[in-house]
């Protein structure tokens, strides 16, 4: 959790510094969306294989090597002052990040059965402490008080520090399963992927995580632009909206696990959907700081609650947690990419002020698909018994 908090702070700091640096270079809202989406695109390519690589070789060496790439790339970003280079650098960084994320996430899933499902949000909460609170604060300070070059140097050195720190506690590489050695890693991976996708709970959890991550990416990428360009807030106020949303996420992730045990998963789904729709409506119409902040709080509450449901379900499966984490994080990265990319297109053609309102149908379609699948599962045993 300490490593997750530090990692989150580095990611949050990089997101703020990158966004403000892109604006400094003259990038428009669509170009900012592309820059943000590139990191998620890089993650998409390697998130699923990362789980299998970690399952085979262990987290220690994989995490260490995957931290060196972002370190070097962040140090190189200030050398070229163009938004296209910034987008390319974020893409390359995205190729390294999955090995770091899956390492930490799979380790937490392995321990979740022992520490209790009420703590299902603790890992994401620790990550959000850094990403939503410490990171934006440091990113805003670095961008306002110092040069962007120093900001990227600090980010690069932070990745290097995590690489060294991780060597002290990650476990050694586990032995490869005999079945995997017999049928080969490629065939083994395909068979495991088919088994995970065929599992209804895993598939639906991944679908919900995709849409939830896309919605969160939409907020994280465009709330600063919306606050400054549409609501006419200052840079400090705009960045503080990210921090308010991050604080609400932390509180929700650390506390709603106990509520989930009491109300059950079906009620949690409904509450999460209602909070998300109310948040998107507020963000679409609000022009004041406090209403935008309230929208961020509602959005973080809804996404945190649904994440707790998904994490609890993932921890209950017997399959290797590194492999499940790979698929689950792939869905999250696909969401991050689609939210930033589609948000950039929508804001360019429909206007930044209408962006969050246009996202409401996306959330409703996801909810409808999951509801229809649930009804189909309820009727299937009856049809079989009749046959």
pLDDT of residue 380: 56
Which architecture does CATH list for 2-170+184-386? Up-down Bundle (1.20)
Domain ranges of the chain: 2-170+184-386
- Which residue numbers in the chain have pLDDT < 70? 117, 169-188, 317-322, 374, 377-387
| 21: three-class secondary structure by DSSP | helix
Model pTM score: 0.70
CB 88: neighbour CB atoms within 10 A?
17
Q: What is the full DSSP assignment across 186-234?
A: HHHHHHHHHHHHHSHHHHHHHHHHHHHHHHHHHHHHHHHHIIIIIS---
pLDDT of residue 383: 43
Say what the pLDDT of residue 382 is. Answer: 44
- According to the model, what pLDDT value does residue 1 have? 83
């Amino acid at each position: 959790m300490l490593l997750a908090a530090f990692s989150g702070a580095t990611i949050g700091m990089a997101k703020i510094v990158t966004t403000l640096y892109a604006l400094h270079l003259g990038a428009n809202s669509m170009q900012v969306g592309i820059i943000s989406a590139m990191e998620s695109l890089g993650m998409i390519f390697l998130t699923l294989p990362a789980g299998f690589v970690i399952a085979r070789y262990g987290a220690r060496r994989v995490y260490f090597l995957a931290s060196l790439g972002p370190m070097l790339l962040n140090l190189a970003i200030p050398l070229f002052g163009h938004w296209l280079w910034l987008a390319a650098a974020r893409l390359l960084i995205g190729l390294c990040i999955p090995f770091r994320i899956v390492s930490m996430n799979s380790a937490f899933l392995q321990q979740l059965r022992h520490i209790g499902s009420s703590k299902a949000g603790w890992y994401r909460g620790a990550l959000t402490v850094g990403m939503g609170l410490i990171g934006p604060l440091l990113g805003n300070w670095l961008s306002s008080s110092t040069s962007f070059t120093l900001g990227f140097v600090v980010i690069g050195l932070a990745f290097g520090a995590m690489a060294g720190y991780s060597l002290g506690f990650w476990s050694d590489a586990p032995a490869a399963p005999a079945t995997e050695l017999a049928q080969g890693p490629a065939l083994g991976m395909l068979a495991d992927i088919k088994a995970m996708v065929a599992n209804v709970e895993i598939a639906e959890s991944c679908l919900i995580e995709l849409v939830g991550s896309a919605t969160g990416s939409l907020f994280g990428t465009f709330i600063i632009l919306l606050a400054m360009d549409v609501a006419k807030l200052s840079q400090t106020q705009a960045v503080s909206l990210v921090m308010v949303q991050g604080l609400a996420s932390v509180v929700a992730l650390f506390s709603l696990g106990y509520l989930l045990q009491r109300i059950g998963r079906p009620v949690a789904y409904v509450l999460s959907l209602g909070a998300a729709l109310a948040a998107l409506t507020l963000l679409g119409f609000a022009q004041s700081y406090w209403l935008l902040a309230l929208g961020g709080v509602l959005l973080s509450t809804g996404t945190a609650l649904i994440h707790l449901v998904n994490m609890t379900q993932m921890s209950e499966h017997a399959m290797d947690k590194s492999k499940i984490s790979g698929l689950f994080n792939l869905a999250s990265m696909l969401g991050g990419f689609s939210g930033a990319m589609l948000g950039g297109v929508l804001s360019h053609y429909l206007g930044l002020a209408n962006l969050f309102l246009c996202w409401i149908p996306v959330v409703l379609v996801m909810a409808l698909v999951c509801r229809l699948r649930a009804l189909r599962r309820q009727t299937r045993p009856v049809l079989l018994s009749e046959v």
